[in-house]
A and B are shown apart, each in its own frame.
Chain A
């Protein structure tokens, strides 16, 4: 098969590699690409063309998912720079951050016993949301810099963002339990 796996995901969409990305342009190009390679376009083609089309469409889906969302994009940018964010051996989590996480989780666990848990939960969700936005903006600065120390910092920030995403999921689970 001649699928060009050397092309990175940014190149695949013809977009400059970087954390700041024009999501609308990405989405438009994603759709244009899918419109030309998707298996629906090849229902009357030969088996080989159908298989190729499925592989290409899979690759484009994967590329789009990896760039669309900030944490996945950060992870992909780090992997392009040879850093695997799940390899936690070379990064020590910031202790202040970990303490803050524990406190946040305690607050969340106690929300059920508040006089108006739904309102308390909404306030809490807003707080988590603003922390996420703050981390994303810090990540952007790091990737702009692109020096080794900045990338190391981006690695740490990505892990923190992962924590906050998990926390956000827990908030949603609490919300569901309250409904």
Chain B
């Protein structure tokens, strides 16, 4: 742990203190970690020199799990204890994960489904945490110090439950999440800063199993996501299948036999990759009883096989353009993401659709991690003068259940976040004193067709005639795309608030337990950890307040206000150095209260400052 430099109150903290921050692309197939080193974004390699970490975790009885390449190699021999593509199960309920023919044995629990392994039952969050912890260790070894913060990328279509699960995994891995960033936005950041181009951009992301298109606008350093669309069951694997089916047809065999199927799929993948830079590939595949089939696939033949698949990606492209209110020829640049965009035919068809050659300069496997690293560097405060700002959107509509199993949308999809919206509801029975609030996410009108995010009850509504109560339900979505819902009865002031813990999420107590287990394993002590956490928090708050005071203390505070704040900060320092976790927490809370007005004044001042660059027009009529 790096020692934080603590300055005297009123002194500015060291301006060039570099905070170690990384970007992590937590992918379905592979994951990566990147950082900004001497101004240049780079992905970090492991000790063997590999940049891509296969997102595979193998559980072993009475030993720590193995992550990455070695786990991946064991997948065939130890399939039930080797978890791949765990991203598909994040934030998902038992029915969803059982539908997915993954071959794992899922256990239903009161909260999230668990996968049975020889090392015990594990949730998707824990599996992801192993991958994140591995990348964290790699980064800390490579950078030589503890990480201050991390930006983790998520698919733009990830719903609240999936985002929350990702954040929970980071917490389990001991990472401080600065921001969850949409993958396409990260890709745009990677290119946007390099080329400095302004205008509307399309991000075409074709991975192994998913397709994603996003339309973004970049203007004077502000990225705005205008729209996103995609197909969660379309990707490079479908190209392999198309080739495999063709081989099977040519060879006159079926693919029902698992052994034959694996052989043919393996060859299909090789053929696909080889056709990236040759016009024709010889096929040689062993079928039943060492019977060999040989053939040839030309680039033209391959193109014919996959044209239908590529065409299927263009439908979401049209939808996204329409949602964004732009036409294909208004797109300035098209960014290619995902290994499948190496296929020449994909590049050709995308170029044709958008009437311009796509950007392919950055390795399509690394571009997302690189963008995340650039954003992490800025969020960590290493580039205070940087003008870049990301304005992301909510990917799916949020609403609540109303009479008859219908969903009333409160925040439509593609709304810029953070966002707060309120809607009024009323009781439907005389004397009704409680109201159930059911929060849903999705585009359909029926509750059953949307994803249930949370349910809670507003109680103690004063009895009134039906329709007289006025219940204001407020949705607040933060910059990570996570939702908080508050319900308030307007006439009585009865309030109920939930930080939406998704229906398929981990309970806080479960995360606590897992953290405890992890630390017991490391012979650590819960109290010691709590104390350390509070000390880190006190240092963070101290530094934040010091910076604020250095900037605006003189202009916005009277002498006595300043003295009060200084006293609180001193108390907090004393507690930090000599107190218990509880003492520190109380001192932090007190410092927070003492600086409340100051924080509000600073916010107002920064708004006025932002507008003062413009001539203030005269108001017509107030």
Inter-chain contact B599/A54, CB cutoff 8 Å: no
Task: Report the separation of the CA atoms of residues A59 and B611 in the bound assembly, to the nearest whole angstrom.
Answer: 16
B527: min CB distance to chain A, Å: 23
Is B178 positioned at the interface, with any CB of A under 8 Å from its CB? yes
Inter-chain contact B611/A33, CB cutoff 8 Å: yes
Inter-chain contact A18/B620, CB cutoff 8 Å: yes
Residue numbers in A under 8 Å from B132 (CB-CB): none
Pick 15 A–B contacts, CB within 8 A, sort by A.
A14-B617, A16-B620, A29-B611, A32-B613, A33-B607, A43-B381, A44-B380, A46-B599, A48-B599, A49-B544, A54-B418, A54-B479, A57-B418, A64-B416, A179-B318
Is B389 positioned at the interface, with any CB of A under 8 Å from its CB? yes
Task: Report the separation of the CA atoms of residues A8 and B288 in the bound assembly, to the nearest whole angstrom.
Answer: 75
Is A34 positioned at the interface, with any CB of B under 8 Å from its CB? yes
Residue numbers in A under 8 Å from B547 (CB-CB): 44
Identify the closest chain B residue to A15 (Cβ).
B617
8 nearest CB pairs, A to B:
A2-B600, A36-B610, A58-B420, A39-B479, A36-B606, A32-B610, A58-B418, A43-B379
Is A140 positioned at the interface, with any CB of B under 8 Å from its CB? no
Q: Is the interface of A mostly helix, strand, loop or mixed?
A: helix
Given contacts A2-B604, A34-B391, A176-B319, contact A43 B149 (CB under 8 A): yes
Inter-chain contact B600/A52, CB cutoff 8 Å: yes
Residue numbers in A under 8 Å from B220 (CB-CB): 31
Inter-chain contact B599/A179, CB cutoff 8 Å: no
Inter-chain contact A46/B604, CB cutoff 8 Å: no
B377: min CB distance to chain A, Å: 12
Apart from A39-B479, A61-B415, A61-B419, what are 11 other A-B pairs with CB-CB below 8 Å? A16-B617, A16-B618, A18-B620, A31-B389, A34-B222, A35-B222, A37-B607, A37-B610, A46-B591, A52-B603, A65-B415
Which of A38, A47, A172 interacts with B391 by CB under 8 Å? Answer: A38
Is B541 positioned at the interface, with any CB of A under 8 Å from its CB? yes
Task: Report the separation of the CA atoms of residues A44 and B59 in the bound assembly, to the nearest whole angstrom.
Answer: 37
Residue numbers in A under 8 Å from B379 (CB-CB): 40, 43
Inter-chain contact B380/A43, CB cutoff 8 Å: yes
Give the number of chain B interface residues (Cβ < 8 Å): 61
Is B122 positioned at the interface, with any CB of A under 8 Å from its CB? no
Is B6 positioned at the interface, with any CB of A under 8 Å from its CB? no
B579: min CB distance to chain A, Å: 19
Task: Report the separation of the CA atoms of residues A17 and B618 in the bound assembly, to the nearest whole angstrom.
Answer: 9
Inter-chain contact B418/A39, CB cutoff 8 Å: yes
Inter-chain contact B599/A44, CB cutoff 8 Å: no
Inter-chain contact A59/B420, CB cutoff 8 Å: yes
Identify the closest chain B residue to A33 (Cβ).
B610
Task: Report the separation of the CA atoms of residues A11 and B616 in the bound assembly, to the nearest whole angstrom.
Answer: 9
Inter-chain contact A31/B599, CB cutoff 8 Å: no
Residue numbers in A under 8 Å from B418 (CB-CB): 39, 54, 57-58, 61
Is A4 positioned at the interface, with any CB of B under 8 Å from its CB? yes
Is B62 positioned at the interface, with any CB of A under 8 Å from its CB? no
A68: min CB distance to chain B, Å: 10
Q: Give A contacts to B, CB under 8 Å.
A: 1-4, 10-11, 13-18, 25, 27-29, 31-41, 43-49, 52-59, 61-62, 64-65, 172, 176, 179
Inter-chain contact A53/B610, CB cutoff 8 Å: no
Q: How would residues 404 to 424 of chain B score, 1 for a CB under 8 Å from any chain A CB and 0 otherwise?
A: 000000000001111111000
Inter-chain contact B603/A37, CB cutoff 8 Å: yes
Cross-chain pair count, CB within 8 angstroms: 138
Which of A2, A15, A48, A64 interacts with B592 by CB under 8 Å? Answer: A48
Which of A17, A46, A52 interacts with B545 by CB under 8 Å? Answer: A46
Identify the closest chain A residue to B621 (Cβ).
A17
Q: Give B contacts to A, CB under 8 Å.
A: 149, 178-179, 219-222, 315, 318-319, 322, 378-381, 387, 389-391, 415-421, 476, 478-479, 540-541, 543-545, 547-548, 591-592, 595-597, 599-604, 606-607, 609-611, 613-614, 616-622
Inter-chain contact A54/B478, CB cutoff 8 Å: yes
Inter-chain contact A65/B416, CB cutoff 8 Å: yes
B398: min CB distance to chain A, Å: 14
Residue numbers in A under 8 Å from B611 (CB-CB): 13-14, 29, 32-33
Name, among A2, A34, A56, A58, the residue most crowded by chain B CB atoms within 10 Å (CB to CB).
Answer: A58
Which of B322, B476, B609, B620 interacts with A17 by CB under 8 Å? Answer: B620
Inter-chain contact B322/A16, CB cutoff 8 Å: no
A58: min CB distance to chain B, Å: 4
Inter-chain contact B619/A16, CB cutoff 8 Å: yes
Identify the closest chain A residue to B541 (Cβ).
A46
Inter-chain contact B619/A52, CB cutoff 8 Å: no
Inter-chain contact B420/A35, CB cutoff 8 Å: no
Residue numbers in B under 8 Å from A59 (CB-CB): 420
Residue numbers in B under 8 Å from A32 (CB-CB): 610-611, 613-614
Given contacts A29-B614, A48-B596, A65-B416, contact A43 B179 (CB under 8 A): yes
Inter-chain contact B609/A36, CB cutoff 8 Å: yes
Which of A10, A33, A53 interacts with B619 by CB under 8 Å? Answer: A10
Inter-chain contact B416/A61, CB cutoff 8 Å: yes
Task: Report the separation of the CA atoms of residues A64 and B390 in the bound assembly, to the nearest whole angstrom.
Answer: 16
Task: Report the separation of the CA atoms of residues A62 and B475 in the bound assembly, to the nearest whole angstrom.
Answer: 13
Task: Report the separation of the CA atoms of residues A53 and B379 in the bound assembly, to the nearest whole angstrom.
Answer: 14
Inter-chain contact A46/B592, CB cutoff 8 Å: yes
Inter-chain contact A14/B219, CB cutoff 8 Å: no
Residue numbers in B under 8 Å from A16 (CB-CB): 617-620
Inter-chain contact B417/A38, CB cutoff 8 Å: no
Inter-chain contact A35/B603, CB cutoff 8 Å: no
Inter-chain contact A58/B599, CB cutoff 8 Å: no
Identify the closest chain B residue to A172 (Cβ).
B322
Which of B222, B318, B479, B617 interacts with A31 by CB under 8 Å? Answer: B222
B208: min CB distance to chain A, Å: 26
Residue numbers in B under 8 Å from A62 (CB-CB): 419-421
Residue numbers in A under 8 Å from B618 (CB-CB): 16
Task: Report the separation of the CA atoms of residues A73 and B417 in the bound assembly, to the nearest whole angstrom.
Answer: 20
Task: Report the separation of the CA atoms of residues A151 and B620 in the bound assembly, to the nearest whole angstrom.
Answer: 16
Residue numbers in B under 8 Å from A57 (CB-CB): 418, 479
Residue numbers in B under 8 Å from A28 (CB-CB): 614
Residue numbers in A under 8 Å from B592 (CB-CB): 46-48
Name, among A3, A32, A46, the residue most crowded by chain B CB atoms within 10 Å (CB to CB).
Answer: A46
Identify the closest chain B residue to A25 (Cβ).
B614
